[in-house]
Amino acid sequence: MAKVKKENLRLFLLPLILLMLIISTFFLLLRPIKKRLDESAKMLAQKKAKLAEMKKEISGYPEVKKELARLKVRANFYENYLPREEMLPSFFSKLTKIADETGVKYSSLKPLKEKEGAVSAALYEEKKFELRLICGFHQLGYFINRLERMNRFVEVKELRINRGKDIFNENVRLLISLYLLRGPLHK
């Protein structure tokens, strides 16, 4: 009977030792590996989320590119309407052409001093000019109409009409503002 107990004990001890080896292997080897695997899986999920976010941003790139192109077109449009100071001679030649086409005669054109009316902003500055004209009412109307339809930001600030020799030769004092671009709107 002692021999049977010893043999039962051996049969019982062998599985117990194997069980202990399996448990110790799990805790010593497999558990740290599982922990690293879980951390790697978490990091992979974060990377996948970031990748999906980046793909979403990249998919919006063509729309952003179109928007940028649209904004550049608008900037060019306003850059043309806001000439630089070096383009003033071109403006005055167009002004002279309009006067000739509408039958208006200049008696004088002079810039007003800075303190008399220049307004400045970050992107543009306002230059004021006094025009003295000799013309009739209809000619003046055509002249102002053409002036304000120019492809420049031109504003008629003041208009004074004094009686001339006759209705076709009135003395007109016109104050206009021209807006000039300080620098480029885009690069």
CATH classification of the domain holding 104: 3.30.70.60
Decide the pairing of beta strands 124-135 and 154-162. Answer: unpaired
- Answer whether 116's CB lies under 8 Å from 157's CB: no
Name which of 81-85, 120-124, 171-175 the model is least confident about. 120-124
Task: Report, as an integer, the average pLDDT of 24-47.
Answer: 85
Tens of pLDDT, residues 131-162: 999 898 889 999 999 988 887 788 889 999 88
Range(s) of the domain holding residue 142: 83-181
Query: Does pLDDT of 95 surpass 80?
Result: yes
How many C-alpha atoms does 44 have within 13 Å on its Cβ side? 6
The alpha carbon torsion through 25, 30, 31, 37 (nearest 10 deg) reads 180
102 in the same domain as 24: no
Tell me, what's the pLDDT at 130? 93
Answer whether residue 5 shows pLDDT above 90: no
Q: Which amino acid is it at 54?
A: M
- Asked whether residue 26 carries a pLDDT value surpassing 80, the answer given is no
Lookup result for tokens 């002279």: 96
109 & 23 share domain: no
Specify the 3-state DSSP secondary structure of 65: helix
Count of structural domains within the chain: 2
Residue 66 lies in a domain: no
* Separation CA 184–CA 164 (nearest Å): 45
